[in-house]
Amino acid sequence: MIEDYQLAIFSNMLGVTLFLLIVLYHYVAVNRPKIHQF
């Protein structure tokens, strides 16, 4: 069975990872060349 502290550590790492991925995606999306083919 999963203990409370294991669930807390897992959810905390998951949240931090998702936050860092969002920040990284935003940084890449903002700084790519402004060439749009639409």
**Domain-embedded: residue 4:** yes
Query: In angstroms, how far is CA 21 from the centroid of its own chain?
Result: 3
**Domain-embedded: residue 38:** no
Check pLDDT > 90 for residue 10: yes
DSSP 2: -
What pLDDT sits at residue 18? Answer: 98
pLDDT higher at 10 or 29: 10
**Domain-embedded: residue 6:** yes
Total domains present in the chain: 1
What pLDDT sits at residue 37? Answer: 63
The H-assigned helical ranges of 1-38 are 4-31
**Domain-embedded: residue 16:** yes
Tokens read off for 21:
């991925």
**Three-state SS at 35:** coil
pLDDT higher at 12 or 29: 12
pLDDT tens-digit map of 16-38: 999 999 999 999 988 887 777 66
**Domain-embedded: residue 37:** no
Nearest 10 degrees: Cα torsion 20, 21, 24, 30: -130
What pLDDT sits at residue 30? Answer: 87
